[in-house]
Every structure is written in structure tokens, then in C-alpha cells.
Amino acid sequence: MLQRRFTARLLPQLRLLVEECAAREGLREPRRGEFVLAVDEIAGNAVEHAGGWGRLVLLRVGDELECRISDAGPGFSEAVIPELLPGLDGASNGRGLWLARLVADRFAVTDAPAAAGAEDGERTGALVTVAVRLR
């Protein structure tokens, strides 16, 4: 449905493309706005914390709209996402991931597939998957 490599400069365009695809697939407001915000937060994190770029793949999986965002940064695990709203629990960061996990029907953080040319044992970055049911 949508595949894009993105940088900070392309984030506004990416938001619009995700919104258009979500609308075309029948995701209604307010869920569509929540989904677009979650995707934007994850993409922004990839740019800010993982080398300035990322890759987005948006697809329909059964009755869900799924977005996968990968990067080539140092990687992380879901354990770094605060349980409570960041700021209430003393954490100074993590709001975007916290919000994405909160609004998603399905959310996961895994290692990104190895980039072409990656050496054995080299970190491959993170793959964040966020999905919402269309109905």
C-alpha cells in the first residue's frame, strides 16, 4: 500500500500519505487521527534517535491497518517504554512510544531485518510495528 524511506524533511509528507491511505482503507476518525499520530511519533523517533532516517511500510493485514517503521540505529526494546505517562513516573522521555503503544490494537518492538551489507553481529536497528483494527 505504501513504502517510503524518510528523513526529517519528509515527515510532513509522510503524515499526509499515511492519513490518505488510512482513509482509503476505511479507518474512521478519531481512530485515524490516533493512528497517524502514533506513526508520526515513531517515525520522528527514528529520525531523532537512529541516524536521521527510517523506512515505513504500511499495509493491510486482515482487518487491521499495520505500519512497520524500521531504522538502522542502536536498537531498543519495549522495556524502555514507560508504563505510566512519561513525566508522571519520573521519565523524561518516551512519550511518543508510550502514546503509540496506548492507541494501538497491536504494538511490537523487534530487531530490524539486517541491512544490506551488514556484518555478522552488527546491530540492525529497531522495527516498530503499530496496528489498528479497521472495524
- Point out the least confidently predicted range of 58-62, 78-82, 96-100: 78-82
CATH number for 39? 3.30.565.10
Q: How many domains does the chain have?
A: 1
- Point out the least confidently predicted range of 45-59, 68-82, 108-122: 108-122
Q: Is residue 35 part of a domain?
A: yes
- The sign of the CA dihedral 111, 41, 101, 95 is positive
Cα 93 to Cα 95: distance, rounded to the nearest angstrom = 6
What average pLDDT does the structure give for the chain? Answer: 88
Segment (H or E) for 126: strand 126-133
25 is in which domain, residue-wise?
3-113+124-133
What's the pLDDT tens digit per position in 60-80?
999 999 999 999 999 888 888
Cell of 1: 500500500
Q: Is residue 65 part of a domain?
A: yes
Q: Is residue 96 part of a domain?
A: yes
Cis peptide before 30 (omega within 30 of 0): yes
Q: Is residue 119 part of a domain?
A: no
